[in-house]
Amino acid sequence: MFGESATAAQAGPAFSEPESSAVQRAAVAAGFDAARFRAELRAFCRQQVPADIRARMRQHQYFTRGQRIRWQQLLQSRGWFVGHWPKAHGGQGWGPLQRFIFVEELERAGTPWLTHFGTSFLGPVLCAFGNDAQRARFLGPIRDSTEWWCQGFSEPGSGSDLASLKLRAERSGGHYRVNGQKTWTTMAQWADWIFCLVRTQAGGKPQQGISFLLIDLKSPGVTVRPIETFDGGQHVNEVFFDDVEVPVGQLVGQEGDGWTIAKFIVGRERLLVTEIGKAWHLLGVLQSIAAGRREGPRRVSDSAAFRRRAAELEVQYHCLRATAYAAVLEAEAGREHPVDASLLKIRGSELQQAIHDAITDLLARDGLAFQIEGLGGDLEGYRHGDPRLPGLLHEHLHSRAASIYGGSNEIQRGIIAKTALHV
Amino acid sequence: MDDDALHLFEETLARYNRERYDAGQWSDYGRLPQGHSPERWAELQAMGCFELLRPEDDDRAAPMADLLPLYAAAGEALWREPLATVFAEPIAVIAQLADPARRRALLEGLISGERPLGYAHRETGDGAADAIATTATKSTAASGAGWRLSGDKAMVVGVDVCTGFLVSAIDAERDVPAVFLVDAAAPGLQLQRYRSIDDGIAADLRFDQAPAERLCDGAAAIAAANARGVILAAAEALGIMRGANRDSTDYLRERRQFGQPLLGFQALQHRLVEMLMRQRECEALVASVAEAFDHAAPMLSRQVLVLRVEVARALRHITREAVQLHGGMGVTQALRIGRYYRRALMLDSLHGTADLALEALSEHP
Ligand SMILES: Cc1cc2nc3c(=O)[nH]c(=O)nc-3n(C[C@H](O)[C@H](O)[C@H](O)COP(=O)(O)OP(=O)(O)OC[C@H]3O[C@@H](n4cnc5c(N)ncnc54)[C@H](O)[C@@H]3O)c2cc1C
């Protein structure tokens, strides 16, 4: 049984789902009790999510900037938001396993997506590559969610071929002058800062001239322009830089370290993008829609055709979860299987999309209204169908991007070919 | 239409799409209060498209095969105009009427463009395919004898041009389904408009003792109307497939990454090839089922289900792949690729998902 509603109805078999002994052993070795940690997170998600956020979770609505920040701060009140940072830098020193369990449980409960840009990407980058001044200036506000970060990697001409990026940063005295454009920047409209891959040197191997620069979005010459997406949301943007002055102290590492840092980030991202907890949550949504809908004398959830389709998804889910934990345990032991990272990205996005297809196919029977006014708050006036309709359709459409962003599934397959086939 | 005429018609439509229906115009039309452009709608009429519906001599309906190019053009350019209210289900229902004079009058209302009709059959609720909870009772009240309709119908399209609705309901006198005509301005009819997933406008209808005219018995008329809807939706889907495949091929030819056009990567060529093969298969299938429909071939209902399964799957596959192959651009509103994707969802919603059609096919051997 999947999902919050389904488990509640079933007196929680999923909550008593046994922890594999390999996970238990690895947790003990890492100094925590996996089952107890999960129980603590579940209780927290059941009891501590503020009512306004929970209301939006139920309807799959959009969260405001303020709601996301409040949720992150609540998590940090327990030290969890940056639990994966080293103790020396204000974290709890969690390894990959504890961090994975943490994210899985939050996703299972359907809580707001943690904006990873500061906490998962930049924080660890500063710990590993930054200098003391940078850590002192930037880590605190990330931990406390008082500064919002976004990720400036992609450009109009450089998507899959990231190394061809062109955003120029030319050094003059104590500053870099930055000119050019980033695009697809998630939540730049809410961000205070952006970390960018910039080109500090032309010629040579394209990867060599790339550096990692932190830029205040309030700097003169920065323009953020929203991109309209087909899911009815507003989350990606173009960011333009017109002679923006950036102090050289905001360069992370040395000039030319950008590519190495980018690979470090991508490596961190991979386990998280599996979103296995979200898949579990969505499978619960699917079950609850099927159970609440009749097909003649029977419930849809009792129809053989529906059950078979749900069973197919369940197989995919368990297969992915097993693979994800195998990869996490490898990472916990400091190793990496050449196939894992890309596999998780591919299968994670495929599963999420397949579940959304199944959900939408059920919703389609009542007519696919798309009242996007209902995404960000209460719908005034007439509402067609299930109150979750706008939110679930928005999520369906957005899930199409899961196989595109963060290195497309085609690029991931190329990576597996390169590393595993030695081509 | 003979082949030459058909070819000419296709060229006319292609020119129409170039001049009247680019992405910018599409968005402009959507912002109009009706959700479509009354000018374009009138223009289709002026071009003689509606005349395609005029049957020869004693035929009850003109051949549907002649309409396939029109629907393909609509699919490719994502027309917002409410074609269904004239070309799709109403024609099939009217063909079932026993009274030739009434039949001719209603048909003339469609062809003249003066009386388009909405098709109000789907209901939410228990969700069984074709379950009807709406009822019609005969009133003898002094205030007006005749049929009175009560119930709810969901997601009716084209409501802004309709002068009346074809409503399926249970004839309470005989306890059989029948089709009724309710005037759009009838007392006791309430209409709630909303945006649909394809960025169009749909409405839910509530009938509360609304006066109605009983047109014909239901089962055959509803089956024919649904079949006609499925076949024309398949023709529309062909247009979407054509557009999505062409756009994706053009995009990968233009877009350079890693120092070369993306179309150079064989992995991507094979993806496009699969999309093209599915389009070709659907083209053949649509033509054959449309012909079977025009000739009232035996086993038609199964052929229509087969068509629905295959076209729904192929369309979802192609639109999904088109989004993926466009990368980030595929999920923006700037290109029509994302709109194709959403229209594919809408067609599933209006005509049934592949799952449902496959289940129907497997349950009635
Ligand atoms: C919703 C969303 C959020 C995003 N958020 C961010 C963000 O916050 N920050 C950021 O920097 N970027 C972000 N991105 C950008 C994302 O990383 C890029 O979209 C992605 O890298 C793909 O690049 P592209 O869109 O230019 O597609 P292209 O690179 O043009 O690819 C087009 C198609 O060709 C395929 N392809 C490309 N090369 C090959 C090859 N060699 N072999 C086979 N197939 C190939 C691709 O897989 C794709 O299907 C986001 C994108 C989306 C959609």
What chain B residue is nearest to A185 in terms of C-alpha separation? B328
Q: Compute the distance between CA of residue A259 and CA of residue A257 in angstroms, rounded to an integer.
A: 6
Radius of gyration over alpha carbons of chain B, in Å? 21
**Ligand 1 contact via A159 beta carbon (within 6 Å):** yes
Looking at domain A265-421, does it have CATH number 3.40.50.720? no
What's at B110, amino acid-wise? Answer: L
A78-120, pLDDT tens digit by residue? 999 999 999 999 999 999 999 999 999 999 999 999 989 999 9
Q: Which tens digits make up the pLDDT trace of B96-108?
A: 999 999 999 999 9
Of B165, B164, B193, B157, whose CA–CA distance to B79 is shortest?
A: B157
pLDDT digits (tens, 9 = 90+) for B218-269: 999 999 999 999 999 999 999 999 999 999 999 999 999 999 999 999 999 9
CA A378 from centre of chain:
26
Contact B229, B350 (CB under 8 A): yes
Chain B nearest CA to A160, separation (Å): 7
Which residue would you say has higher pLDDT here, A13 or B77? B77
Q: Across the interface, do B355 and A361 touch by the CB < 8 Å criterion? A: yes
Record: contact B349-A229, CB cut-off 8 A: no
* A252-310 tens-digit pLDDT: 999 999 999 999 998 777 788 899 999 999 999 999 999 999 888 889 999 999 999 99
Q: Do A160 and B258 touch (CB under 8 A)?
A: yes
* Identity of residue A147: E
Residues on chain B touching A303 (C-beta within 8 angstroms): 359
pLDDT for residue B277: 98
Share of chain A above pLDDT 70, in %: 96
pLDDT at A6 over 60: no
Nearest-CA distance A312 → chain B (Å): 14
The residue nearest atom 27 of ligand 1, judged by CA position, is B327
The confidence band for B128, taking pLDDT boundaries of 50, 70 and 90, is low
C-beta A8 within 6 A of ligand 1: no
Q: What are phi and psi of B348, to 5 degrees?
A: -60, -40
pLDDT, position B125: 67
User: A185 CB less than 6 Å from ligand 1?
Assistant: yes
Residue closest by Cα to atom 17 of ligand 1 = A405
Residue with the smallest CA separation from ligand 1 atom 23 is A159
Protein residue closest via CA to atom 1 of ligand 1? A401
Q: What CATH code is assigned to B221-363?
A: 1.20.140.10
Of A138, A104, A108, nearest to A121 by C-alpha is A138
Architecture of the structural domain at B117-217: Beta Barrel (2.40)
The answer to whether A313 and A358 are in contact (CB under 8 A) is yes
Structure tokens at B292: 């079977």
Q: What percent of chain B has pLDDT over 70?
A: 98
* The CATH number of domain A5-129, selected from 1.10.540, 1.10.10, 2.40.128, 1.10.287: 1.10.540
Query: Residue B119 to residues A8, B94, B165, B228: CA-CA distances in angstroms?
Result: 41, 12, 6, 12
Whether A155 is a known active-site residue: answer no
pLDDT digit string, tens, across residues A329-364: 999 999 988 788 899 999 999 999 999 999 999 999
- Characterize B139-155 residue by residue with b for buried, 16 or more Cβ atoms within 10 angstroms of its Cβ, and e for exposed: eeeeeeeebbbbbbbbb
Would the CB atoms of B332 and A229 count as touching at under 8 Å? yes
Q: Which of residues 103-132 of B touch A (CB under 8 A)?
A: 122, 124-128, 131
Q: Where are the domains of chain A?
A: 5-129, 149-258, 265-421
What's the confidence (pLDDT) of residue A17?
67
Which B residues, 146 through 175, put their C-beta within 8 Å of a C-beta on chain A?
154-155
Q: Residue A344 in contact with residue A337, Cβ under 8 Å?
A: no
Indicate the average pLDDT of chain A: 93
- Gap between the Cα atoms of A126 and B74, Å rounded: 54
Matching fold, domains B117-217 and B221-363: no
The answer to whether residue B73 scores a pLDDT higher than 90 is yes
- The 3-state DSSP class for residue A422 equals coil
A134-186 residue pLDDT tens: 999 999 999 999 999 999 999 999 999 999 999 999 999 999 999 999 999 99
Q: Write down the pLDDT at residue A19.
A: 86
Catalytic residue among A40, A238, A245, A269: A269
Contact between A161 and B332 using a beta-carbon 8 Å cutoff: no
- Average pLDDT across chain B, whole number: 94
CA angle A230–A235–A237, rounded 5-degree value? 95
From ligand 1's centre to the CA of A298, what distance in Å? 44
Q: Is A384 in Cβ contact with B155 (below 8 Å)?
A: yes
Q: Decide whether any atom of ligand 1 lies within 6 Å of the B333 Cβ.
A: no
Instruction: For chains A and B, count residue pairs whose Cβ atoms are closer than 8 Å.
Output: 140
Percent of chain A residues topping a pLDDT of 90:
84
CB of residue B328 inside a 6 A radius of ligand 1 = yes
Domain ranges of chain B: 3-111, 117-217, 221-363
Q: Which CATH superfamily is domain A149-258 in?
A: Butyryl-CoA Dehydrogenase, subunit A, domain 2 (2.40.110.10)
